[in-house]
Amino acid sequence: MKLISRQCNSRNSIRQPSYRAFYRSTWHILTPKSLFRDESNALDIKGLTSPLDPKPSGSDWGEGFLHYRTGGLSRLDVDTLNEKLQHRGAERLRNAQKPDEAYGMIFSFDGCIGNTRAALVRAAAQLAKQKGAPRLLPHQQQALALRVASMERIFIDVPGWTKDMKMARELSYELSDLYNDQLLEMAEPMPGMRQWIAALSKFNVPCALVSSIDRATVLKVLQRFGLHDFFVHMVTADDDMETISQRLLSASMKLNRPPNHCVLFGDSPAEITAAHNCTMKAVAVCSAYPAYNLKTADLTVPRLSELTVYNIRRLFAAQGTDFMEYCRQTSDDLNKNKKKRITNATI
């Protein structure tokens, strides 16, 4: 089978500062021979990656989405979204009366709502039992839970179950099926999640969910948790996002909030980097990574129940004072011909 594609000949696409933007604007013709050139190396071609492979942070240069239109290639970056989604008119007056509703909360399902990393370790232990492979050691379980590399590379380098890339790919898909079964068996969310989402719903703060899992599985897990009524908008694996930042930007558009008025709740450094690339605030939950690995976040908490709604407003209190941000300055030319006024009473 041959993948039919086209080549973009626009000169503007070649002069972009982002390598990812150029790579996405260029499509190649791929044949089975060109795909499987060497089985000893990891396959990183889009469409052939495992569902459990980690996604890059993205938006390193502020890029967002690409649209192929009849008039040419259109780019929707982070700054454009901040400008288009800015509240004006009646919405701005409403946010002045109820400032908590002006912000959007984005939750990462993987590690923040459900303990998906523990479910992945249990699925790997079940797979090892089925294949008759040795049990995973603690450091191997940690590498698997954190997804330090692609699943094929982890199977080859970490436990050493196989040296064949084709066999490692088959194991990754079997692990994905077992992982899906383990997710459906989870009964409780992460500690403090119920209290925090209930506090946000009390003040009508909009919430969205992003996940690398398919939508059907996420809905079933949320129904078991009793949280399906709190998340109206979701961005899952069915949306086919290439990077974490694209998931966050898509969630902000569904919330109708600009990215610089959104807060991400995650537990990994990659999610924190993606949130900052999208001009969002990041709140890190210490679940899989220790606190010193999450120090780039705007706020780090051991559990979500320690947060209050007022903490979210304080995250944006110093907005505009960060390094390299625009700030207003008084001009000396305006006060040159201005007469000095006497404000004290004189006799």
Distance CA 331, CA 309 (A): 38
| Angle CA 253–256–260, to nearest 5 | 75
Find out whether 297 and 124 touch, Cβ atoms under 8 Å: no
Pairwise CA distance, residues 118 & 122, whole Å: 6
Look at residues 206, 204, 271 and name the one whose alpha carbon lies nearest to residue 234.
206
Strand-pairing partners, residue 110, are 114
Q: In the chain, count of helices (H) and strands (E)?
A: 13, 8
Residue 200, pLDDT score:
92
pLDDT at 6: 38
Domain identity same for 108 and 134: no
Tokens representing 247?
A: 């998931």
Report residue 56 as tokens: 């890059």
The rounded distance, in Å, linking the Cα atoms of 268 and 282 is: 10
Q: 198 and 210, same structural domain? A: yes
Q: Are 78 and 279 in contact (CB under 8 A)?
A: yes
CB-side neighbour CA atoms (13 Å) of 302 = 0
Residues 302 and 194 in one domain: yes
Q: Does residue 213 sit in the same domain as residue 158?
A: no
What separation in angstroms does the CA of 164 have from each of 58, 135, 181, 309? Answer: 30, 20, 26, 51
Give the pLDDT confidence score for residue 324 in this predicted structure.
62
Residues of the chain with pLDDT under 50: 1-48
Neighbouring C-beta atoms of residue 161, cutoff 10 Å: 17
pLDDT of residue 219: 92
CA atoms within 13 A on the CB side of 177: 6
193 and 178 housed in the same domain: no
- 231: domain CATH number is 3.40.50.1000
pLDDT of residue 150: 78
Instruction: Give the Cα separation of 284 and 299 in Å (integer).
Output: 6
Residue 36 and residue 57: Cα distance in Å, rounded?
Answer: 27
- Position 43 scores a pLDDT of 38
Same domain (yes/no): 227, 102: yes
Same domain, 243 and 263: yes
167 and 201 in a single domain? The answer is no
Residue 135 domain boundaries = 116-184
How many angstroms separate the CA atoms of 243 and 248, rounded? 9
Number of domains comprising the chain: 2
